[in-house]
């Protein structure tokens, strides 16, 4: 999508990644509605942007994503203020596990789902909308598994965001509604969300994974918005070019199903365990090499 002249809403954009996404969109000529539960921070950021990009290109509306009325007020208030329809909605507000697993899941997945449901209906071409784009801020935690009990909720929520994106981001749904759905999966970035995980955990993260700047993540965000397809999940990792993490689960399940059938027929295996699967991969690999060797010697 060419963002020049487009109107975007970003939840949780008073600071951190949301603020960095807003800067990139504004630099590319979009108008942005800043939104946050933290009114003071949101207003300060909006003032800063108004001075740099012009008063007519930014606006602030307070929104707690846990409140449906706030979400409706944000969307409708933004359209009213700018006098046009919203083109891009970024589901970005998020917290970590420190305030408890239920709140983490309420904000990081339930509210994302609530916003996505509401925004798709508003943008749906069949319902009088003009189509548009929803970008969900997921995480690498939405792809890999977690490493301790405390943060399990964050990983579960972010996996939910990735699956939600892929399920809503089909070409069929895009054709029907005109709405694209994508997500960004950053590794660790230097924002406030890491501030309360404790100095020991913070140092461990910094040492093991390194920290990206919000600007670095925002460059990946722009690649997603301007160059990628519906359903895409883009991974942003320190010192690695952005890459799309494609979902191959259906193909993999089918592949393993074939292996399970073959192993049952050939060796009477009743349960196709990871050890059997490794043996199956090895057999497929050897067979593929033999075939390739045969074909190349036959052709040349």
Ligand X SMILES: NC(=O)c1ccc[n+]([C@@H]2O[C@H](COP(=O)([O-])OP(=O)(O)OC[C@H]3O[C@@H](n4cnc5c(N)ncnc54)[C@H](O)[C@@H]3O)[C@@H](O)[C@H]2O)c1
Q: What is the residue whose two structure tokens read 């301790």?
A: 148
By CB under 6 A, tell whether 92 contacts ligand X.
Answer: yes
Compute how many other C-beta atoms are within 10 angstroms of the C-beta atom of residue 27: 13
Stretch of residues binding ligand X (CB under 6 A), selected from 32-40, 81-89, 120-128, 226-234? 32-40
Three-state secondary structure call for residue 182: strand
Q: How far is the CB of 202 from ligand X (least distance, A)?
A: 11
Contact between 230 and ligand X by CB under 6 A: the answer reads no
Q: CB-wise, 155 or 280, nearer to ligand X?
A: 155
CA 186 to chain centre: 8
Report the alpha-carbon distance of residue 230 to residue 247 in Å, rounded: 13
Q: Which stretch binds ligand X (CB under 6 A): 6-14, 71-79, 168-176, 246-254?
A: 6-14
Interface residue with ligand X, options 46, 165, 177, 191 (CB under 6 A): 191
Identify any residues that bridge with 62 across adjacent strands, giving them in sequence order: 36
Report if residue 37 touches ligand X, rule: CB under 6 A.
yes
Q: Does 89 bind ligand X (CB under 6 A)?
A: no
Alpha carbon distance 177, 125 (integer Å)? 5
Least distance (Å) between residue 23 CB and ligand X: 13
Q: By rule CB under 6 A, what string of x and - marks binding of each residue 48-87 to ligand X?
A: ---------------xxxx---------------------
DSSP SS3 for 56: helix
Quote the tokens at residue 2.
Answer: 């060419």
User: 66: exposed, middle or buried (C-beta count within 10 Å: 0-12, 13-18, 19+)?
Assistant: middle
What part of residues 10-29 is at the interface with ligand X (CB under 6 A)?
11-12, 14-18
Rounded distance, CA 97 to CA 173, Å?
Answer: 33
Q: Which of 189, 234, 237, 260 binds ligand X (CB under 6 A)?
A: 189
Judged by CB under 6 A, does residue 165 bind ligand X? no
Q: Which residues pair with 12 in a beta bridge?
A: none
Chain residues that interact with ligand X, rule: CB under 6 A? 11-12, 14-18, 36-38, 41, 63-66, 92-95, 107, 137, 139, 186, 188-189, 191-194
């Amino acid at each position: 999508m060419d963002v020049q002249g487009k109107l975007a809403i970003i939840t949780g954009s008073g600071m951190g990644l949301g603020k960095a996404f807003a800067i990139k969109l504004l630099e590319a000529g979009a108008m942005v509605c800043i939104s946050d539960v933290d009114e003071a921070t949101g207003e300060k950021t909006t003032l800063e942007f108004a001075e740099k990009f012009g008063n007519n290109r930014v606006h602030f509306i307070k929104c707690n994503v846990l409140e449906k009325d706030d979400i409706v007020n944000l969307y409708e208030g933004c359209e009213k203020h700018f006098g046009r329809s919203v083109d891009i909605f970024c589901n970005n507000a998020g917290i970590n596990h420190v305030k408890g697993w239920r709140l983490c899941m309420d904000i990081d997945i339930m509210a994302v789902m609530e916003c996505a449901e509401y925004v798709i209906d508003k943008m749906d071409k069949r319902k009088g909308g003009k189509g548009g784009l929803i970008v969900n801020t997921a995480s690498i935690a939405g792809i890999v598994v977690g490493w301790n009990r405390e943060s399990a909720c964050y990983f579960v929520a972010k996996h939910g965001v990735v699956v939600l994106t892929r399920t809503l981001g089909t070409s069929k749904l895009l054709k029907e509604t005109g709405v694209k759905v994508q997500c960004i999966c950053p590794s660790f970035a230097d924002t406030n969300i890491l501030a309360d995980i404790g100095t020991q955990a913070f140092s461990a993260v910094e040492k093991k994974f390194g920290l990206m700047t919000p600007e670095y993540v925002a460059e990946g965000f722009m690649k997603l918005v301007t160059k990628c397809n519906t359903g895409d999940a883009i991974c942003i990792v320190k010192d690695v070019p952005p890459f799309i993490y494609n979902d191959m689960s259906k193909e993999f399940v089918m592949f393993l199903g074939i292996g399970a059938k073959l192993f049952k027929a050939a060796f009477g295996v009743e349960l196709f365990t990871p050890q059997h699967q490794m043996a199956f991969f090895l057999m497929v690999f050897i067979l593929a090499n033999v075939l390739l060797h045969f074909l190349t010697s036959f052709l040349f």
